[in-house]
A and B are shown apart, each in its own frame.
Chain A
Amino acid sequence: MADRDEEFDAYFRARRDAVRRTAFLLCGDWHRADDHAQAAFVALHRHWRRIRDRSSLDAWMRKTLVRSVVDESRRPWRRERVTDAPSPAVLVEGPADGVVMRHVLVDALRAVPPRRRAVLVLRFLDGLDVAATAEVLGCSQGTVKSQTADGLVALRAALGEAVDDLRPAR
């Protein structure tokens, strides 16, 4: 038990912030992100002994996290409705600083359906390739490719074609 907790503690300390960031871009809210991240870590602790391949922990956490967020988005009280019109916060004109850009992207991601949003977050925040993303989401690589393309289209629609120039020059 002590060994398990020590191992878990080390993993938790190493990965908590990354898991929170992934959860944040998946759901768009830091409080809910903490809820999802904590629930995923609790589930991980309960499954710890069964996950013999420690190199698969990150994949297990991502799968659990995505499932938690997508499931919540389907619940009656939290049902997400994708709209064609971006929220007012997205309609930023002209040059903007990094803070505004962060809000712009987060708001734009909210306009993307949850599964496609998950594909974008796994690929562009977590840096997974197509195969690893397909493994996490339990779908084919073709589905990941098409959802990446569709997700970027949706992102561009929300951002007014500014996605490629979104990041300020440094």
Chain B
Amino acid sequence: MDERDRDARLTATFQDAAQDAPPAGFDVAEVLATSRRLTRRRRSALAGAALAVLALTGVGVTAELAGGSETVAASSAPSRNGADAAAEPDARDADRAAGLEAQAAPAPRAAPHGAAEGESPLGPGMRECADRQDPQLRALVEQVLPEVEGAPEAPTTRECRPGGERGLALEVRDGDRSGVLTVTYLPPGASSDPASGARSAPTASGGTVVVSSRSEEAGDRPPFADRLDHVAAYLALRL
């Protein structure tokens, strides 16, 4: 049997093996509804961040006025430039043309590094099934890694994981590198066996946080590979 015959037989065998499909568990209406829900959630998060920036900008201007400064316009310029610089990676995403995002980018940086000090850790999720794209976890990740602000959610399964878990998977860019950043919170008592290259750390609530990054192109250095330790340590204090 030559290679072409072998390939033809294998193709027939593979196609035969996938023939007995049960009825599909989803339709186009469900896909569209999920897509729109995710888009709405992302825009809401961005709008909230934009409001936070506006509030902070207002505080800054008020402080300058109170101090007798005559350079109100100048004082706002660095903030705006900083926003543009921070938002630059996001410009690759066509959905980010809404204008909110340039303002939203600095918001995470406005959150002080020790913002969680004195606060209770986030801890286990409260839903019946774990949120695979947990917005609270995402907010924490965006604090320590502002570059992922606005990053699209990576595909995940809809498997019902124990409700105490939290998950996050984002399609991220780090300069010219792209890939998927994955963060998982496991509640106390849940076992963890991190993938190669993943960073895990015990959290303030007694659980475990696992942070990993995978490059889009095989063999490339994963995005944010040199910052995973810092991200895991930051999240561990707050989860």
Smallest Cβ-Cβ distance to B152: which chain A residue: A46
Interface string of A31-52 (1 = CB under 8 A from B): 1101111111111011101100
Q: How many chain-B residues does the 8 Å CB contact rule pick out? A: 56
Asked whether A35 lies within 8 Å of B159 as measured between CB atoms, the reply is yes
B window 140-162: CB within 8 A of A: 152, 154-159, 161
The docked-state distance in angstroms from the alpha carbon of A43 to that of B39 is: 11
The docked-state distance in angstroms from the alpha carbon of A25 to that of B28 is: 22
The docked-state distance in angstroms from the alpha carbon of A93 to that of B53 is: 69
A residues within 8 A CB of B191? 76
- The count of A-to-B residue pairs whose CB atoms sit within 8 angstroms is 146
Is B66 an interface residue, CB under 8 A from the partner?
Answer: no
Interface string of B117-150 (1 = CB under 8 A from A): 0000000000000000000000000000000000
Q: Taking each of A38, A67, A121, A123, which has the highest tally of chain B beta carbons within 10 Å of its own beta carbon? A: A38
- A25-B18, A105-B17 known; A124+B156 contact, CB < 8 A: no
Asked whether A102 lies within 8 Å of B17 as measured between CB atoms, the reply is yes
The smallest beta-carbon distance between A32 and chain B, in angstroms, is: 6
The docked-state distance in angstroms from the alpha carbon of A28 to that of B22 is: 13
- A38-B26, A74-B195 known; A46+B39 contact, CB < 8 A: yes
Asked whether B184 lies within 8 Å of A42 as measured between CB atoms, the reply is no
- A125-B11, A164-B6 known; A77+B161 contact, CB < 8 A: yes
Is A138 an interface residue, CB under 8 A from the partner?
Answer: yes
The smallest beta-carbon distance between A4 and chain B, in angstroms, is: 10
The docked-state distance in angstroms from the alpha carbon of A143 to that of B218 is: 10
The docked-state distance in angstroms from the alpha carbon of A98 to that of B31 is: 33
Is B54 an interface residue, CB under 8 A from the partner?
Answer: no
The docked-state distance in angstroms from the alpha carbon of A30 to that of B218 is: 28
The smallest beta-carbon distance between B43 and chain A, in angstroms, is: 12
The smallest beta-carbon distance between A39 and chain B, in angstroms, is: 4
Residues of A contacting B: mostly = helix
The smallest beta-carbon distance between B164 and chain A, in angstroms, is: 12
A residues within 8 A CB of B21? 17, 20-21, 24, 30
Is B69 an interface residue, CB under 8 A from the partner?
Answer: no
Interface string of B8-38 (1 = CB under 8 A from A): 0111111111111110111010111011001
The docked-state distance in angstroms from the alpha carbon of A76 to that of B186 is: 10
Smallest Cβ-Cβ distance to A109: which chain B residue: B17
Is B70 an interface residue, CB under 8 A from the partner?
Answer: no
Is A132 an interface residue, CB under 8 A from the partner?
Answer: no
Asked whether B9 lies within 8 Å of A76 as measured between CB atoms, the reply is no
- A76-B210, A102-B16 known; A38+B35 contact, CB < 8 A: no
Asked whether B13 lies within 8 Å of A68 as measured between CB atoms, the reply is no
Is A54 an interface residue, CB under 8 A from the partner?
Answer: no
Asked whether A21 lies within 8 Å of B18 as measured between CB atoms, the reply is yes
Smallest Cβ-Cβ distance to A27: which chain B residue: B157
Smallest Cβ-Cβ distance to A167: which chain B residue: B13
A residues within 8 A CB of B17? 25, 101-102, 105-106
**Other contacts beyond A68-B156, A75-B182, A76-B193: 12, CB < 8 A:** A31-B25, A35-B157, A38-B34, A42-B31, A45-B35, A46-B38, A67-B155, A105-B14, A120-B14, A139-B219, A167-B13, A167-B16
Which B residues fall within an 8 A CB radius of A? 1, 6-7, 9-22, 24-26, 28, 30-32, 34-35, 38-39, 93-95, 152, 154-159, 161, 169, 180, 182, 184, 186, 191-195, 210, 212, 214, 216-219
* Those 5 A-B pairs whose CB atoms lie nearest each other, nearest first: A21-B18, A39-B155, A35-B157, A34-B25, A45-B35
